[in-house]
Amino acid sequence: MSEHPHRRYNPLSDRWVLVSPQRDQRPWQGQVEDTPNPEPSYSEDCYLCPGNERAGGKVNPNYSGVYVFENDFPALLTDCEFTNSEAAGDELFLAAGVQGRCRVICYSPRHDLTLASMDDRQLMAVIETWADETRSLGEHFEHVQIFENRGATMGCSNAHPHGQIWALSALPSEVSVEKRQQSMYFEKNGSSLLLDYALKERAKAERVVCGNEHWIAVVPWWATWPFEVLLLPLDPVAAMPDLTSAQRQSLASVLQQLLGAYDALFSVPFPYSMGWHGAPSSTDDASWQLHAHFYPPLLRSATVRKHMVGFEMLGESQRDLTPERAAEQLRKVLS
């Protein structure tokens, strides 16, 4: 791959990213992050640990596995009515009401565990919960967003292993664009954009981090974040509940590999935002392929992170470390 500046196209988001390999060794004098301290198995100050009181006054049960509850401070409500008092009907001041539910999923009662450190049985319990929640919430809402913000660097205020599930009556902007792009590709080619992409990346191998019979994890051709990863099934799958038992077992295995590589790269619990994108609930969309995005901000070490500023906010995303080199670094720590 060229060591000269170039732009790469993201067919999933219809955006471009500027790649500047010649800047990879530039000196860094910007902000550095603190490395986190090891966590105890139980914390009496943690509002997510079993038996502890949450901020809203409710007390967690003494749960022994995965625990899901309604967010005490939800971003979405099920019984609200919205009126645009600014200027109804004015195209410059559009607004629309939205309803939804926000749930919290505690992966484990252990305060010191993470998805990366869980065994197969524990990971399978999380995956089954993801699928069950997607199915049940999808009966009432158009989009179900499973996500996790890991680490204080990503704004996570509690180290207890947990993620969130937001279900809403409208498609979010990012998902709407992905739906449009996948539909356009399917209409043009008669096949799935992301399935075609996964198979081509498996054949090329240079951006593959890890994989197995059913899954592939790649630093995508169009990656924006330094060690961004796209996790894809190698068979047609529209949504999380559609995964077979074998695909779920394989997902647990590939998650252990990928998240283990993240943590091993800089010898620190790797911060990230991750989330699953499945097909909209109300459509039987043959073009949609289930996938997960991982957006980790660490750039060169446990303390140096990538910031989106300047040209990236005003022009387009930019990266120095090429996706090929990033994938190579992650593969090395797997062996």
Give me the phi and psi of 54, to 5 degrees please: -85, 170
Are 276 and 240 contacting, i.e. CB atoms less than 8 angstroms apart? yes
Strands 291-295 and 229-233: what pairing? antiparallel
Greatest CA span in the chain, whole angstroms? 60
Strand residues in the chain grouped as ranges (E): 6-10, 15-19, 67-70, 100-106, 143-150, 162-168, 208-211, 215-218, 229-233, 272-277, 291-295, 317-319
What tokens were used for 188?
């043009």
AA letter at 320: D
Catalytic residue among 143, 162, 277, 291, which? 162
Our answer to whether residue 307 is catalytic in this structure is no
Please give the distance of CA 143 from its chain centroid, rounded to a whole number.
15
The 3-state DSSP class for residue 8 equals: strand
Just list the catalytic residues: 162
